[in-house]
Amino acid sequence: VAEVIWGLATSHVPSIGAAMDRGKTEDPNWKDLFDGYAPARQWLAQHEPDVAIVVYNDHANGLDLDIVPTFGIGTADHYRVADEGYGPRQVPDVIGDPDLSLHLLESLVDENFDLTVFQELEVDHGLTVPLSVWTPDPGDAWPCPVVPILVNVIQYPQPTAARCYALGQALGRAIRSYGEDVTVGILGTGGMSHQLAGARAGFINPEFDAMWLEKIHTDPAALAALSREELIREAGSEGIELIMWLIMRGAMADEVTKVHSHYFLPASNTAAGIALFDNRAPQPA
């Protein structure tokens, strides 16, 4: 069987990737963010999985806005890095795991989650920035193959938080029913609070983010009870990306151990958060 060994939640702000790509991580306005990543990166380097599942959203780069699936899964053996307007990031292309993708797809469809299938997909900052947060210096290749799971968080009506949490729980069952003995890292990406356009552009809500960072660990069901409207009111129109953290969390055990978390304001126009959970550590009695 496959086993989820850790879950990593992280923001995917494009400028975090750009700061890394341009060697600016020691600049005064970035240093605290990257220092905050260090403990998670060290732990992750010692806990390399066989395969990673990255729950993310595309931002009209790999997909056109005229077709926006609510949920999707990549089944390719290879995902090219998308050109978002300045040329593709100079990071490795992403190697897929078609066998695991097809198993997850079948299992999730059998549980009534009818995912759209991407046999071809270019991946944007929503996927590559979280990989860089995990692995700052990938060299020629990322640490392991990746299965992308896509969520519509950019066009109304986004799926509910409850539906995302339920998808995560079904994903956990799908992983545990896989025939191969592999270890899995799962990433939930996006957020934290931000709003990029409209009258509230620049909106950030640290109180809400602090609540979310705590409850994603201790009480994800409470977060899953939030409505779409509450999420957009409290976290901003793009802060609703946080629902993808619930898919990651749902695939993990009810009780997990927090390895590290960090919160930084602002990265570009966004509250940047990271939270790393160990799915295997024994719980205190």
So which residues are the catalytic ones?
Answer: 125, 194
Q: What are φ and ψ of residue 142, in 5° steps? A: -65, 160
Give, in order, the Cα–Cα distances in Å from 234 to each of 41, 210, 227, 251: 30, 12, 11, 25
Q: 152, 164 in Cβ contact below 8 A?
A: no
CB atoms within 10 A of CB 92: 15
Rounded to whole angstroms, how far apart are CA atoms 89 and 194? 23
76/96 Cα distance (integer angstroms): 6
Give 37 or 178: the residue with its C-beta nearer to ligand DHB.
Answer: 37
Which residues between 252 and 271 bind ligand DHB (CB under 6 A)?
A: 268-270
Q: In angstroms, rounded to a whole number, what is the distance separating the alpha carbons of residues 127 and 5?
A: 20
CB of 154 to ligand DHB, least distance (A): 9
**What is the smallest separation between the CB atom of 270 and ligand DHB, expressed in angstroms?**
4
Q: Which of 4, 5, 9, 13 binds ligand DHB (CB under 6 A)?
A: 13
Alpha helix segments (H runs only) across 236-282: 243-250
In this structure, what token pair is assigned to residue 86? 């300045």
Give how far the C-alpha of residue 109 lies from the chain's centroid of Cα atoms, to the nearest Å: 21
Among 4, 5, 14, 142, binds ligand DHB (CB under 6 A): 14
Q: Pick the closer one to ligand DHB by CB: 2 or 247.
A: 247
> According to CB under 6 A, which residues from 211 to 250 bind ligand DHB?
238
Nearer to ligand DHB, 145 or 191 (CB): 191
- Enumerate residues 6+ apart whose C-beta is below 8 A from 91: 17, 21, 81, 128, 131, 132, 138
Closest CB 33 distance from ligand DHB, rounded Å:
13
Size of the site for ligand DHB (CB under 6 A): 11
Residue 163 interacting with ligand DHB (CB under 6 A): no
Residue 59 makes contact with ligand DHB by CB under 6 A: yes
Residue 167 CB, shortest distance to ligand DHB, in Å, is 21
CB of 235 to ligand DHB, least distance (A): 11
Which C-beta is closer to ligand DHB: that of 12 or that of 249?
12
Contact pick of 194, 249, 260, 262 for ligand DHB (by CB under 6 A): 194
Residue of minimal Cβ distance to ligand DHB: 268
**By CB under 6 A, is residue 116 in contact with ligand DHB?**
no
Could you tell me the end-to-end alpha-carbon distance of the chain, in angstroms, rounded to an integer? Answer: 27
Reduced 3-state DSSP string for 80-144:
EECCCCCCCCCCCCEECCHHHHHHHHHHHHHCCCCCEEECCCEECHHHHHHHHHHCCCCCCCCCC
Would you tell me which residues interact with ligand DHB (CB under 6 A)? Answer: 12-15, 59, 194, 196, 238, 268-270
